[in-house]
Amino acid sequence: MMLQLQICDPVVCYVPAKLMYAADALLWAHLATSYDVEPELTSDMQVMVHAFVTLLPVSAKKKAQLQQAMATDQKLQRLNRQIEMGWPSKIEDVSTKIRAYGTIRDELHQADGILFKRRKIIIPEALQSDMLKIAHESHRGLERCKKRARAVMYWPGMTKDIDQVVSQCRTCLCFWRSSTKEPLLPHALPTRPWEKLGVGIMTLKAKDYLIVVDYSKYIDFQQRRDKTSSPAINAMKYMFATHGILEEIISDNMPFASREMQTFANEWGFTITTTSPGYSKSNGFAERNVQIIKNLLRKTLHDGGDPYLALLNQRNTPRPQLQASPAELLMP
């Protein structure tokens, strides 16, 4: 029917059956003649089929490869025989090997030893890997590869195969564009001093320091002998004994995600919230104060001053009130 209508240029319009009186009546009074056997192709239809095959977007060499691979592909040969015999009314009666083509059976046809889905060439299994390489040879990305392949070829599961090829391409992975970063969310505003602390660790002149900054902008630091959990716990115990036990610590993962640190937090009744690995911006308040302390120590060590006296002067800077300027207490 599709071939016979090619010589026309019809415009198809939908009209409800209740308004199609004559057509509806003739539908119920149709002749008993059976048209199960396909009519022979007319000369015009033969010319159209010949032109369709001749204008295929493949070279003569590739066309010969397709025909040869099609002739040796058992699954497509079975599909070709099914197309010639006609499809059963129930898809369950079709062989499981070609059942995936059942949903598009009205779009399938054969011409010159090649199977088509409308104007797309059905690629035999032996040539599918080569076609995937051709579709992805320019490394244009996932959607471009799919669009390029869908324009000229088809086989069941082709989209899934393209996804797998692109996701495993080393060249594409090396030049993969990073995802757009989500905007940072502000921390909840503390209601009292020493309720929430930002904690960071820095190294200066081969010495490690634990930097603790209260979200009301009170800064303290302790020198540690190494970067393990025990020195950090001892330093925080001293601070807690002086200022009281807080409610939450915002820190990076090392060593605050360790089991020893979690046990310490459970015993002393506070929580540890760790930031995303390798993303220091999520603890921006503490990281900014780490820079302040590092610059302070560099300057005092350079002129031979007392770093704790400099820290005292830093603490005596007028503090903003919590309710007056909440933006200064939030993470950048």
Q: Where are the beta strands (DSSP E) in the chain?
A: 108-111, 114-117, 120-122, 153-154, 196-204, 207-214, 219-224, 248-251, 271-274
Same domain? For 61 and 165 the reply is: no
Same domain? For 142 and 116 the reply is: no
Same domain? For 309 and 212 the reply is: yes
Same domain? For 169 and 232 the reply is: no
Residues sharing a CB contact under 8 Å with residue 226, sequence separation 6 or more, in sequence order: 208
Q: Which of 60, 87, 122 corresponds to the end of one domain?
A: 122
Q: Which pLDDT score is estimated for 43?
A: 61
Which 3 state secondary structure label does DSSP give 33? coil
Asked if the structure places residue 34 within a domain, the reply is no
218-234 in b/e form (b: 16+ CB < 10 A) is ebbbbebeeeebebbbe
Q: For the domain that residue 298 is a member of, what is the CATH number? A: 3.30.420.10
pTM for the model stands at 0.46
Give the count of beta carbons closer than 10 Å to the beta carbon of residue 292. 14
Residues sharing a CB contact under 8 Å with residue 253, sequence separation 6 or more, in sequence order: 274, 275, 277
Listed as own residue / partner, the contacts of 179-184 with beta carbons closer than 8 Å and 24 or more positions apart are 184/281, 184/282, 184/284, 184/331, 184/332
Give the count of beta carbons closer than 10 Å to the beta carbon of residue 141. 15
Same domain? For 268 and 303 the reply is: yes
Peptide bond into 255 cis (omega under 30): yes
Q: Which pLDDT score is estimated for 69?
A: 92
Residues sharing a CB contact under 8 Å with residue 215, sequence separation 6 or more, in sequence order: 187, 190, 195, 196, 197, 198, 285, 329
Query: Number of folded domains in the chain?
Result: 3
Residues of the chain whose pLDDT is less than 70? Answer: 1-4, 6-7, 30-55, 178-182, 184, 277-282, 308, 310-332
C-alpha 252/C-alpha 260 separation (Å) is 15
Using a 10 angstrom Cβ sphere, with 0-12 exposed, 13-18 middle and 19 or more buried, the burial of residue 188 is exposed
Same domain? For 215 and 296 the reply is: yes
Q: Which pLDDT score is estimated for 141?
A: 80
What residue numbers bound the domain in which 143 lies?
Answer: 123-173
Q: CA geometry: angle at 201 spanning 199 and 205, to 5°?
A: 150
Same domain? For 85 and 127 the reply is: no
Same domain? For 46 and 108 the reply is: yes
Same domain? For 221 and 309 the reply is: yes
Asked if the structure places residue 29 within a domain, the reply is no
